[in-house]
Amino acid sequence: MQGETDSLTLLGQTPLLIVSFMLVALKVNIKLPDAVANEGTFSKLSRIDFLGSFTLVVSVACMLSGFSIKTTEELPWSHPLIWGLLMVSGIFGVAFVYVEARWAPYPVMPLRLISQRTPLAVALANLMASMTAFSMVSVSTNEYVPSTTFFLLRSFITYHCTSLRSG
Residues 95-154 have pLDDT tens digits of 999 999 999 988 988 888 878 888 888 888 878 877 777 666 655 555 555 566 666 677
What is the tally of structural domains in the chain?
2
Shared-domain flag, residues 41 and 54:
no
Same domain flag for 132 and 166? yes
Are 145 and 127 within one domain? yes
Residues 122 and 40 in one domain: yes
Q: How far is CA 66 from the centre of its chain?
A: 16
Which one of 59, 83, 105 terminates a domain? 105
Which domain covers residue 55, as residue numbers?
49-105
What stretch of H or E contains 148? helix 145-166
Q: How far is CA 43 from CA 11, 38, 40, 124, in A?
A: 40, 10, 5, 35
Out of 105, 131, 147, pick the residue that ends a domain.
105
Same domain for 146 and 114: yes
22 and 9 inside one domain? yes
Question: What integer best gives the mean pLDDT of the chain?
Answer: 81
- Other Cβ atoms within 10 Å of 100 Cβ, number: 19
For residues 147 and 153, what is the distance between their CA atoms, to the nearest angstrom? 10
Question: 49-53, 63-67, 136-140: which range is least confident on average?
Answer: 136-140
Q: Are residues 42 and 119 in the same domain?
A: yes
- In this structure, the answer to whether residues 42 and 55 fall within a common structural domain is no
Is 55 found in the same domain as 44? no
Statement to judge: residues 28 and 60 lie in one domain: no
